[in-house]
Amino acid sequence: MDKLKIGVYWAASCGGCDCSLLEVNEQILDVAEAVEFLLWPCAADPKYTDLRGYADREMDIVLFNGAIRTGENREMAELIRAKTKLLVAYGSCAHTGGVIGLANLSSRDEIFETVFGDRKNWPQTESEEGGYRLRLPAFLEHLTPLSDVVKVDYVVPGCPPPREMVSRLFTALLSGELPEPGSVFASEKNLCDECPRKREHERISRILRPHEAEPDPDRCLLDQGFLCMGPATRGGCGAVCPNANMPCTGCAGPAGDVEDQGAAMLNTLASLIGTGEEGEDQLAAEDEILSQIDDVIGTFYRFGAAKSLLGRRYHERNGQAH
């Protein structure tokens, strides 16, 4: 049987997604037998010319991790799209922009000013040094998820994708039974659906951060005041964080029927805070509870700021095309 021709690529990425491919334990042996890697910069040393030399659609599938932050990221995404039959947004940076999408709260100039200081120290896309002409990829105005640049066939969410989701992908690849294009290798339901904790939708009178108290291991974390993103987050990881007594931070992105993960979570929270009674005093009490949230964007949009409705509106309002 012909081996599957597979590629793995990283754009604006931390490398964690590449490592996560190895987390499927012994399944990796079946994968290694069934596939031939045509591209994997983390493990080999391919050159651009190697990739350009492939015929169009020569690779069967490419797992693309990392977001689009530079001109090179964008160029590679377009080139890879041409060279593969199927493209997977692998990990939250490719899927929704990821943690690094929070950088979209600042303009490119603000980022350069913070990192390089005076404008004269900012990196140039072209310069001359010792008779050599040096070129750096352009740092784009915004970071975008992969699907903003090219068509994406599948998504494996997570930061990095948890073992359960990677295993779903490999099982489908090895059996040759891939789901319909557009599918996400996770659950359609939200995380609470697979969480073993007892949830009673209790009223929250105080917001707690993980270091402030030891959670009861059996009760829902949100009921106890810990901001667990489970109600707005796609399931499929086996609720690994709540099972480790930590709130879900939302890395799998919005649940199947949720458009904006942060807005959905804020909506859930709004129905849980306070005593449920009405009146001026109650509004003040609810404001006091909400003021205990330390980092609103980083909490509710930690992985999805770049793809969220809020993020897009923010740029439109500031006159920056997305």
CB 154, min distance to ligand SF4, A:
15
Stretch that binds ligand SF4, among 69-77, 153-161, 280-288, 308-316 (CB under 6 A): 153-161
Residue 178 class from Cβ within 10 Å (0-12 exposed, 13-18 middle, 19+ buried)? middle
Opening angle at CA 184, ends 178 and 186, nearest 5: 105
CB 121, min distance to ligand SF4, A:
27
Beta bridge partners of 144: 68
Report the alpha-carbon distance of residue 248 to residue 61 in Å, rounded: 30
Beta bridge partners of 139: 70
Report the alpha-carbon distance of residue 62 to residue 35 in Å, rounded: 12
Q: Which is nearer to ligand SF4, 146 or 228 (CB)?
A: 228
Instruction: Tell me the backbone φ, ψ of residue 235, rounded to 5 degrees.
Output: -80, 180
Residue 16 class from Cβ within 10 Å (0-12 exposed, 13-18 middle, 19+ buried)? middle
Stretch that binds ligand SF4, among 1-9, 128-136, 217-225, 287-295 (CB under 6 A): 217-225
Tokens coding 27: 């399944």
- Per CB under 6 A, the list member of 7, 225, 231, 274 interacting with ligand SF4 is 231
- Per CB under 6 A, the list member of 98, 225, 254, 304 interacting with ligand SF4 is 98
Report the alpha-carbon distance of residue 309 to residue 260 in Å, rounded: 6
Instruction: Tell me the backbone φ, ψ of residue 188, rounded to 5 degrees.
Output: -80, -20
Q: Is 65 in the site for ligand SF4 (CB under 6 A)?
A: yes
Q: Is 249 in the site for ligand SF4 (CB under 6 A)?
A: yes
- Per CB under 6 A, the list member of 248, 265, 289, 306 interacting with ligand SF4 is 248
Q: Is 239 in the site for ligand SF4 (CB under 6 A)?
A: yes
Q: Is 264 in the site for ligand SF4 (CB under 6 A)?
A: no
CB 16, min distance to ligand SF4, A:
3
Q: Which is nearer to ligand SF4, 8 or 248 (CB)?
A: 248
Report the alpha-carbon distance of residue 204 to residue 145 in Å, rounded: 34
Binding site for ligand SF4 (CB under 6 A): 13-14, 16-17, 65-66, 91-93, 98-99, 158-160, 162, 191-192, 195, 197, 199, 220-222, 228, 230-231, 233, 237, 239-242, 248-252
